[in-house]
Chain A
Amino acid sequence: MKLSRIAAASLLASAMGIAAAQAQDTLKIGVILPYSGQFADTATQLDAGIKLYMKQHGDTVAGKKIEVIRKDVGGIAPPVAKRLAEELVVRDKVDILAGFVLTPNAIAACGVSAEAKKLMVIMNAATSIITEKSPYCTRTSFTLPMVTQTLGAWAAKNGVKKAYTMAADYAPGHDAEQGFITGLKAGGGEIIGSVRMAVANPDFSAYVQRAKDINPESIFVFVPAGAQPAAFGKAIAERGIDTKKIRVMGAGELTDDSALKQMGDAALGIITAWNYDHNHNSKMNKDFVAAFKKDNNGVNPNFLAVGGYDGMHLIYEAVKKTKGKLDADSLIGAVKGMKWESPRGPMSIDPETRDVISTIYIRRVQKVGGQLVNVEVDRIPNVKDPVKAAMKK
């Protein structure tokens, strides 16, 4: 067994040696995203962020020409993601793995990152444990508990004493619910009831009616992005829940652009916590949004786009810092503690956990100039992933 392991290791080492010799002047980035299937929208946004960054900053960094190799994973498919990651490493000889919208795929690829010693930049997948699966894994998006626990704590501080939670019955839903409950309770709040809703559930009226019967002071909601936020908004309006009396709160996906359009005035007053909104008021963001819209037929960038944009920034800066050295140990060393200004505000990478640290914004849906907009009402700077912080204690 030992012998075979040594043989495999030397084979790998020699292969990487060859790769390094060939790739002296290029930096190859393998991007794995769900370009086809029901998650194709997310890949389009994220990839547009990557493209925009490369357009603005050129395709050469520290003397290396950047080559991006894109692979379609076609939805939630960890075996495929793992194979693609392996192929990118052994066949295409990439130096960095990047992308990853969906958690199971990211976890599968992490195994490859650890084994092949390649830097892996997660540009979206938001389950907290992923980055623990490989010592060369970092993230430029957010984690769900970062968002919902912050929201819970904020709510407790701002007069919410009792809350009812409604979450979709799947892993991200459980994470989001748990985060909110932890945050609220830590601030002295109380949970008066929780319901888990079927994931593939386009009709929320029964759930919303039950919540209304309890008549809670506030409701926390988490449903998957896509068509469901609008369906939920419709149910709120139909069942006559007054968002002025009952505070409805959730993660940012609940009130993203397309959801707001479908919900209409039912969305007014909903409070969400999120890491990015295209209305964020800074010069950098305004330029970013304008450039993004120009390249993408007037579509606004969302959290995915900014995740891809910041992911590329992290890669560029890391390679600059290592002066073109591309081995995973140097790169991850350069990534740790990196700080920068992003369209979403100040950001950094936690030197201990390699995970993202960023501002979380609390927004309320309001009408501005006849249009529904997520208006920032508060911000909590330098939020770390609370799950990892709790694990350390």
Chain B
Amino acid sequence: MIPQSGNRFSDKIMRRQDAMANTAGAAKPQLYLRSLSRWRPIEIAFWLATLLPFVLFPDYLSLASQIAIAALFALSLDLILGYAGIVSLGHAAFFGIGAYTAGLFSKFVWGELFSGMLVAAAMAALVGYASSFIIARFRHLTLIMITLGLGLLLHEAANSANWLTGGSDGLQGVQAWPLLGLFKFDLYGTTAYAYSLAVLFFVFLAARRLINSPFGLSLRGIRENWMRMPAIGAASRAHIRKIYTISAAIAGIAGALIAQTTKTVSLEALSFERSADVLVMLVLGGAGRLYGGLIGALIFLVARDRFSGIAPQFWYFWIGIMLVAVVIFLPNGILGGLSNILSRRNRS
């Protein structure tokens, strides 16, 4: 999150000056947004680097594909937590809805990938929109409890609806047609990674566009002070409903990806652990930075893979230590810490 200055009064004055400067030159806010949306070399390097696993680690592509999916899920959480300040401990609900919808769609309609993904996104968005009316009314601790409760309710509902979801045995009969009718999902995970990465990239583009729009800017305003935003014409609750719905849709897409690439759907997709893990990933990477969730997912899953290779019983211990260290020494996550160091160097 944006570092807050200690002196609220001077902060207010500065903001007022900003506002006055903005009204003086009408072109300026557009320039500001445009400067934000300019592609930086490091971003281009990052996306090029995501192609490296195809060449360097061809044996690790199934892991890479699950990292891409986790990154997409973390991105969806970042939109509400990092930008709009909505804390959620039940985000797996939308991931699970996406996974089950895509799984059921492939079972009863057909195994075509993109239609399945769209249906999953629509379903998650629908549920997200319905619950957003509750979400938009509360903040902070209440919100944590509500999202947690909704997540648990859905988990239990899916368990009871045995006839539909297969209960704790998981959904049987999920199928996935070859990607574009050409590439079968193989043991090496090549197709799975290509597919997940492409979806991640395009959704990321959309999210980036969204965040660097006036709408995105007003979300950040809501995060800092949601009572004051309506005073400058940004209806906080309506904005929260919109971003929550969008975030749910993206989480649904991530769920659809896991269902399609692994051909399995189970209650675990809706579990509290999944909600907690994605929060850990986002906090590790740094919330409110778009790339935070991506980096967090990468670190979390690679660390898990490495640590559990050393001692399968104790990998969570190391993740825990890492999390504590990051929260204490880098309160804005790994990316926040890096950008602090960079800006300090630039100043001196």
Contact = CB atoms under 8 A, between A and B. Distances in A.
B25 to A, nearest CB: 52
A230 interface: no
Q: Provide the main secondary structure of the chain A interface.
A: helix
A78 B168 contact: no
Nearest to B263: A111
A70 B273 CA distance: 22
A312 interface: no
A103 B169 contact: yes
Given A36-B314, A199-B159, A108 B184 contact: no
Contact of B266 (A74, A78, A116): A78
B166 A35 contact: no
B313 to A, nearest CB: 5
Given A75-B268, A76-B168, A107-B170, A116 B312 contact: no
Given A79-B264, A104-B266, A71 B312 contact: yes
A87 B172 contact: no
Nearest to B261: A79
B28 to A, nearest CB: 48
Nearest to B259: A79
A153 to B, nearest CB: 25
Contact of B315 (A72, A115, A127, A199): A72
B167 A170 contact: yes
Q: Which of A79, A89, A90 has the most chain B CB atoms closer than 10 A to its own CB?
A: A79
Nearest to A3: B182
Given A4-B184, A36-B314, A116-B187, A108 B264 contact: yes
Given A90-B187, A104-B169, A79 B258 contact: yes
B169 A4 contact: no
Interface in A130-188: 169-172, 174
Interface string A223-253: 0000000000000000000000000000000
B262 A108 contact: yes
A40 B63 CA distance: 23
A90 B268 CA distance: 25
Given A83-B262, A111-B263, A72 B187 contact: no
A4 B178 contact: yes
B168 A172 contact: yes
Given A36-B312, A171-B162, A12 B181 contact: no
Interface residues of B, number: 39
A285 B20 CA distance: 86
Interface in B120-169: 159-160, 162, 166-169
Interface of A: 1, 4-5, 8, 11-12, 33, 35-37, 40, 70-72, 74-80, 82-83, 86-87, 89-91, 103-104, 107-108, 111-112, 115-116, 127, 169-172, 174, 199
Given A86-B187, A91-B59, A111-B264, 13 more contacts: A1-B182, A37-B316, A76-B168, A77-B266, A78-B265, A79-B262, A80-B66, A86-B62, A90-B59, A103-B170, A104-B170, A104-B264, A104-B267
26 contacts: A1-B178, A1-B182, A4-B184, A11-B186, A35-B312, A70-B312, A76-B267, A76-B271, A78-B170, A78-B265, A79-B66, A83-B63, A83-B66, A83-B262, A86-B189, A90-B59, A90-B187, A90-B188, A104-B169, A104-B264, A104-B267, A108-B264, A115-B187, A170-B168, A171-B168, A172-B168
Interface of B: 59-60, 62-63, 66, 159-160, 162, 166-170, 172, 178, 181-184, 186-189, 258, 262-268, 271, 273, 308, 312-316
Give the 9 A-B residue pairs with the shortest CB-CB distance, closest first: A72-B312, A35-B312, A78-B264, A104-B170, A79-B262, A91-B59, A171-B169, A171-B167, A72-B308
